[in-house]
Amino acid sequence: MDKNSSSENKERHHKNLKNQEMDEFRVQNTGKPMTTNQGRKVSNDEEILTAGERGPGLLEDVHYFEKMTHFVHEEIPERKVHARGSGAHGEFECYQSMQHLTKAGFLQEAGKKTSVFVRFSTVQGSKGSKDTARDLRCLGVKFYTEEGNYDLTTIAMPILINSDPMKFPDVIHAYQPEPRTDMPQAAGAHDNFWDYVANNPEALHMTLWVMSDRGILRSYRMMESWGINTYLFINEEEIPTFVRFVWKPVLGTHSLLMDEAKKIGGIDPDFHRRDLMDAINRGAYPEYELGVQLIAKEDEFKYDFDLLDPTKFWPEELIPVHLIGKMTLNRNVDNFFAEVEQVGFNPGNVVPGIDFSNDPVLQGRLIAYQTAQYHRIGTNFQDLPINRPICPFHNNQRKGPMRYRIDVDQVNYHKNSLANNTPYTTPPEEGGYEHYPAKVEGHLTRKRSESFSDFFTQPRIFWNSLTAIEKQHTIGGLSFQVGSVKSKSVRQQVVNLLVNVDREMACIVADNIGVDQPKGNNVPVSTSYPSLSQASTPKYAYSLKVGVLIGNGFNDREVLDTFETLQKYGVFIDIVSEQLGTVTGAAGTKLEVDDTFLTTSPYLLDALFVVGGHSKNEVSFQQNVMDSVRVAYTHYKPIGVASTGQPFIQTSDGNNLAGVVFSANTPDFGIEFVKAIAQQRFWNRT
Q: What 8-state DSSP symbol labels residue 240?
A: E
Phi, psi of 151 (to 5 degrees): -105, 120
Which pLDDT tens digit goes with each residue over 536-548?
999 999 999 999 9
DSSP character at residue 224: -
What's the CATH number for 52-179+215-383? Answer: 2.40.180.10
Domain with CATH 2.40.180.10 in the chain: 52-179+215-383
Asked if residue 415 has a cis previous peptide bond (ω within 30° of 0), the answer is yes
User: Is 460-535 a domain of CATH 1.20.1370.20?
Assistant: yes
Q: What is the pLDDT of residues 193-234, one digit of tens each?
A: 999 999 999 999 999 999 999 999 999 999 999 999 999 999
Question: What is this structure's pTM?
Answer: 0.90
Confidence (pLDDT) at 355: 95
Which among 172, 152, 153 is positioned nearest to 161, based on CA atoms? 172
Exposure b/e, 531-541, CB count within 10 A at least 16 = b: bbbbeebebbb
Instruction: Tell me the sheet residues that pair with 34.
Output: none
* Residue 77 main-chain phi, psi, to 5 deg: -100, 5
Segments of the chain assigned to CATH 1.20.1370.20: 460-535
The H or E element containing residue 22 is helix 3-23
For 444, the enclosing helix (H) or strand (E) is strand 444-445
Cα Rg of the chain (Å, integer): 28
Q: What is the mean pLDDT of residues 460-470?
A: 98
Give the number of other CB atoms < 10 A from CB of residue 82. 20
In the chain, residues under CATH classification 3.40.50.880 are: 539-679
Predicted pLDDT of residue 504: 98
- The CATH number given to 539-679 is 3.40.50.880
The mean per-residue pLDDT over the stretch 556-561 comes to: 97
Residue 341 has pLDDT above 80, yes or no: yes
Tens digit of pLDDT for each residue in 16-47?
554 565 566 567 777 878 777 767 778 888 88
